[in-house]
């Protein structure tokens, strides 16, 4: 076993920043109003399963279509870069269609693509290029636990933080994510030219 607390914490922070569950609290509140109820446990578990499956099968899928992990990590770093810009600048580069089905709101759009979306899935493979897989799984599980807590208490968190508090947290994690995306890009672009 190659458990490393530093890798787990780093992977946790990267995924936490990409998933941006605190920044998504307004979307969660809106979903709860439209759907009537969100099953926090179901949404968290399904998102965790999607992320772990992609962590294992994503690389095989890439190999099948002839793409190496470093190329995917460079592409992922660019996606993270744009997600970070959205968080820092308060702009929207990706727009969802906004259709909500009350029966499946916990799975779609909450578990996928809001939590386990393109950003987090790309991030998992990017992290896999740098970290041991057991540390990434631990980080995913910690994020799932945190997701559950946030989903369960989202309305209380919104009241405590207020709109300004949520915006500040979103911008702080945006800057962290921007720095991580630059590091991922620099590390993996070198590998492509070796």
> What pTM does this model have?
0.78
- 125 in Cβ contact with 58 (< 8 Å): yes
Average confidence (pLDDT) over 28-53 = 87
Q: Kindly report, residue by residue over 45-76, the tens digit of the pLDDT.
A: 999 999 999 999 988 888 899 988 788 888 88
Q: Kindly report, residue by residue over 161-184, the tens digit of the pLDDT.
A: 888 888 888 888 888 888 888 888
Q: What percent of the chain has pLDDT over 70?
A: 94
Average confidence (pLDDT) over 8-23 = 91
Residue 94 has a pLDDT of 60
Length of the chain: 194
Domains of the chain: total: 1
Residue 98 has a pLDDT of 56
* Phi, psi (deg, nearest 5) at residue 2: -115, 45
Residue 137 has a pLDDT of 97
Residue 161: which domain range? 5-192
* Phi, psi (deg, nearest 5) at residue 96: -85, 160
């Amino acid at each position: 076993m190659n458990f490393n607390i530093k890798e787990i914490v780093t992977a946790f922070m990267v995924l936490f920043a990409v998933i941006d569950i605190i920044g998504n609290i307004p979307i969660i509140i809106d979903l709860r109003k439209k759907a009537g109820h969100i099953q926090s446990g179901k949404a968290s578990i399904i998102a965790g399963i999607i992320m772990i499956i992609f962590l294992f099968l994503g690389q095989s899928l890439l190999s099948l279509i002839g793409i190496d992990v470093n190329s995917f990590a460079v592409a992922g770093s660019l996606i993270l870069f744009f997600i970070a810009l959205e968080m820092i600048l308060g702009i929207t580069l990706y727009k969802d269609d906004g259709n909500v089905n009350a029966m499946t709101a916990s799975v779609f759009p909450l578990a996928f693509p809001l939590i386990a979306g393109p950003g987090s899935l790309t991030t998992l493979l990017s992290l896999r290029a740098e970290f041991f897989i057991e540390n990434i799984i631990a980080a995913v599980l910690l994020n799932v636990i945190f997701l559950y807590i946030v989903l369960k208490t989202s309305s209380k968190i919104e009241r405590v933080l207020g709109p300004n508090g949520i915006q500040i947290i979103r911008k702080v994690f945006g800057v962290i994510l921007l720095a991580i995306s630059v590091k991922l890009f620099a590390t993996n672009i070198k590998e492509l030219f070796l």
